Amino acid sequence: MTSAPAVSTVQPIQWLGDRLRLLDQRALPREERYLDCRSAEEVAAAIRGMAVRGAPAIGIVAAYGVVLAVRESPSSFELASSVLEASRPTAVNLRWALARLRSLWMGGADAAALEAEARRIHAEDLAQNLHMAELGAELLPEKATVLTHCNTGALATGGHGTALGVIRTAYAQGRVAQVYHTETRPWLQGARLTAWELQREGIPARLVADGAAAHLMKRQRIDWVIVGADRIAANGDTANKIGTYMLAVAARQHGVKFMVVAPSGTFDPDCPYGEAIPIEEREPRELTEFRGEKVAPEGQDAYNPVFDVTPAELIDAIVCERGVIEKPSARKIAALLAG
């Protein structure tokens, strides 16, 4: 078996010292366009506006956003942290990265020390992704057919990816023969971003409508559904992109295994169960319009949660850089995180 590439060719986050350069994911796959952020407010706007997305990536860029703010004004740490923390309330990696910088700041660290920590968070995420990919790939049978949701590759992380990282590594090892991936409405992260990454890697993939997933599982052998996570509660309940819960229910009905892949920073030990996870709701126009053109009648209201929670009992394995938790529970998660 061949080994996985050390790093994906996709580099969506680039720290240039005086600014943070982000690949604007809203323009993909039509255009590779970059944004240069020079303040915490610009970084927060990029997060809110979905130019950068994916829980690990959000945590990384938020850390750099704090560095930009403190370089401009040392007294701006708390304000910048508050602005960044409010940009995406569901992703716990954001809070976790800001807490790491706050701990240093309270201990007297200067802007240079904060920059070193932000760089460390970025590098650690890549290393974690590569290790998780190896662990997750070991769970797959030879020539597996897998289904994934949203985008969990290099675009959503510090490099390589979480769920898509497992798929990338497993394909390099000869363990994956076919990938199916959903559109992931309403932002179409699967159709636009996952397709773009898989094509760049030469991995055979087929796009399916979100609503076709259960039919696919009924008609075609699917070995694993592999997804990422934005927050994992202490008991293993997992918040991820809207539509994940639906996939987990369909997978259980059809005997398909379900894997969550996320770094340990995605666990929230202070959140006891899924119902306590805040679920972000976005503007109705994201459903009633597409690329600025109305697709619903004028005045149509919409319910637009962008995450849902998959109960732990529907998850066969959670993979993080510390190990694999099969049939996750509060006891197993606490033991792994304490180790």
Instruction: Using alpha carbons, select from 337, 335, 324, 1 the residue that is nearest to residue 139.
Output: 324
Q: What is d(CA 196, CA 30) in angstroms, rounded to the nearest whole number?
A: 10
- The whole model's pTM is what? 0.90
CB 180 within 8 A of CB 146: yes
Domains and CATH numbers, the chain: 13-128 (1.20.120.420), 133-338 (3.40.50.10470)
pLDDT at 223: 98
pLDDT at 90: 80
Q: What is d(CA 287, CA 186) in angstroms, rounded to the nearest whole number?
A: 6
Catalytically annotated residues: 230
pLDDT at 89: 83
The single-letter code of the amino acid at 26 is R
pLDDT at 4: 41
Q: What is d(CA 294, CA 286) in angstroms, rounded to the nearest whole number?
A: 10
| Cα 226 to the center of its chain, rounded Å | 12
| Cα 330 to the center of its chain, rounded Å | 22
The reply to whether omega before 186 is within 30° of 0 (cis) is: yes
In order along its 339 residues, the chain shows pLDDT tens digits of 444 444 566 789 999 999 999 999 999 999 999 999 999 999 999 999 999 998 899 999 999 999 999 999 999 999 999 999 999 888 788 999 999 999 999 999 999 999 999 999 999 999 999 999 999 999 999 999 999 999 999 999 988 999 999 999 999 999 999 999 999 999 999 999 999 999 998 999 999 999 999 999 999 999 999 999 999 999 999 999 999 999 999 999 999 999 999 999 899 999 999 999 999 999 999 999 988 899 999 999 999 999 999 999 999 999 999 999 999 999 999 999 998
Q: What is d(CA 234, CA 167) in angstroms, rounded to the nearest whole number?
A: 26
Consecutive H or E run containing 40: helix 40-48
pLDDT at 7: 55
> Exposed, middle or buried: residue 303 (CB in 10 Å: 0-12, 13-18, 19+)?
exposed
**Residues in a beta bridge with 238:** 232, 310
CB 137 within 8 A of CB 170: yes
pLDDT at 91: 76
Q: What is the CA radius of gyration of the chain?
A: 19
Q: What is d(CA 99, CA 65) in angstroms, rounded to the nearest whole number?
A: 13
